[in-house]
Amino acid sequence: MTFSIMLSQMAIGMGRSIGIFFLTLIFSMPLGLLVSFGRMSKIKPVKYFTKFYISVLRGTPLMLQLMVVYFFPYYLFGWSIGNWRYPAIIVGFVINYSAYFAEIYRSGIQSIPKGQYEAGQVLGMSRPQIFTKVILMQVARRILPPMSNEIITLVKDTSLARVIVVQDILYLASERYAAVGIIWPLFYTGVFYLLFVGILTLLFNYLEKKMSYYRI
């Protein structure tokens, strides 16, 4: 196998890892917000269900959750799962990270003093207006550090795609090449993760400085 072919395959694996990362964020962040609202709901069945959802997903390994999501259609319905690998990875990551994001959202929302809500009511604002115009940016400022930590963790967790043989960058480097004595792809993989995390760290530092205006 020539160097150019290996490099192109590694690039494809890198693209899969990046795809898992962005698709997980796109779906898990809004889902996590909905779960956090359920967690704070005054309707007890909704509150208890979301609390159970969060407890299960935070209390079990992500690797186990990925395997359950992948094999679930086969064992329950007898469906073929040959083309289910990549969607199963996305579904598994989304439901797992939505639980973590939900708790971060909840802690941020509940950390805002009640006086902020009361001030909005005095000004004649509706509840949605109070949330979007008064609370939202303050919450965003408070949850940015824990959110950035979870998002950086997500970058590294994308390597778990190899559990169900999704050929991401780490799978190619370790299973296909290192197994036959080709070591350099492992260093290539390490550089990829370092650069990806470094770019995200710079981005979050920039956002934190820009949002310092919203300190209360």
The domain tally of the chain equals 1
User: Mean pLDDT across the chain, nearest whole number?
Assistant: 83
* Residue of 30, 55, 50, 52 lying closest to 40 (CA atoms): 50
Token pair of 5, please?
């072919």
- Taking only the tens place, the pLDDT of each residue in 36-57 is 999 999 999 999 999 999 999 9
For residue 175, what is the domain's CATH number? 1.10.3720.10
Q: What domain range includes position 123?
A: 3-214
- 28-34: long-range contacts, CB 8 A cutoff, minimum separation 24: 28/93, 28/94, 28/95, 28/96, 28/97, 28/98, 28/101, 29/98, 29/101, 31/94, 31/95, 31/98, 31/101, 32/97, 32/98, 32/99, 32/100, 32/101, 32/102, 32/104, 32/105, 33/101, 33/102, 33/105
Give the amino acid at 202.
L
Among the listed residues 146, 143, 159, 141, the one whose alpha carbon sits nearest the alpha carbon of residue 196: 159
Query: Stretch 91-99: mean pLDDT, rounded?
Result: 95
Residue with tokens 């043989």: 165
In this prediction, residue 5 carries a pLDDT of: 67
pLDDT band per the 50, 70, 90 thresholds, residue 210: confident
Could you give the percent of the chain with pLDDT greater than 90?
40
User: Is residue 27 predicted with pLDDT exceeding 90?
Assistant: yes
Residues contacting 156, CB < 8 A, separation 6+: 193, 197
